[in-house]
Structure 1
Amino acid sequence: MSKQFTKAEVAQHKGDKDMYIIIDDGVYDVTGFVDDHPGGAKILKRMAGKDATKQFWKYHGKNVLEKYGPKLRIGTLKEEAKL
């Protein structure tokens, strides 16, 4: 079973030493991918600790997530109560 993260927990990982992003319901550690990202490090650093779903799907196809996702995925987003 994969680890579950809240949005608040993901938000704590936005520094240069650890960067997490959310895509759909997955949580991805992109720390080691920053220098390899074809679009540059700037966008990953700007989205670190946030839900990057909208931006990701705007510029990437499903094949990109299929290729890199399994290596970078560290868990899922925990369902939170909607008040």
Structure 2
Amino acid sequence: MSKTFTAGDVAEHKDAANGMYIIVDSTVYDVTNFIDEHPGGSKILKRVAGKDASKQFWKYHNEGVLKKYAAKLKVGSVGTGGEKAKL
């Protein structure tokens, strides 16, 4: 079941102890267990954990990457309360 998060909720998930979540186009992904598998290395995921990583994601990835990993990593979406995550 998909959960609705606020940007503040996601911001609390910025390290391994609390889980590492990122936002891409209003969808929240848990990258905690993916960090060591990320082909671009763990550093970038650690840098954007807890934030909206849409800009960085689309700079280096295409729609196929989301299709490949979304089912495994998606945990919810950001609600429509008008709050945006700050980079």
TM-score for the superposition, normalised by structure 1:
0.94
User: Which residue in the other structure is 1:20 paired with?
Assistant: 21
Residue deviations 1:24-79, cap 9 Å, x none?
01000000000000000000000000000010000000000000011100001111
Following the alignment from structure 1 to structure 2, what is the Cα–Cα distance between the partners of residues 72 and 49?
14
Unaligned runs of at least 5 residues, structure 2: none
Following the alignment from structure 1 to structure 2, what is the Cα–Cα distance between the partners of residues 81 and 71?
27
Unaligned runs of at least 5 residues, structure 1: none
TM-score for the superposition, normalised by structure 2:
0.90
Higher helix share: 1
1:2 Cα deviation (Å)?
A: 1.4
User: Which residue in the other structure is 1:34 paired with?
Assistant: 35
Query: Which portions of structure 1, spanning 4 or more consecutive aligned residues, are displaced by more than 3 angstroms?
Result: none
1:80 Cα deviation (Å)?
A: 1.3
User: Which residue in the other structure is 1:63 paired with?
Assistant: 64
Residue 32 of structure 1 aligns to a residue whose secondary structure is: coil
CA-based RMSD: 1.1
Q: Quick one: percent identity of the two aligned structures?
A: 60
Following the alignment from structure 2 to structure 1, what is the Cα–Cα distance between the partners of residues 82 and 23?
18
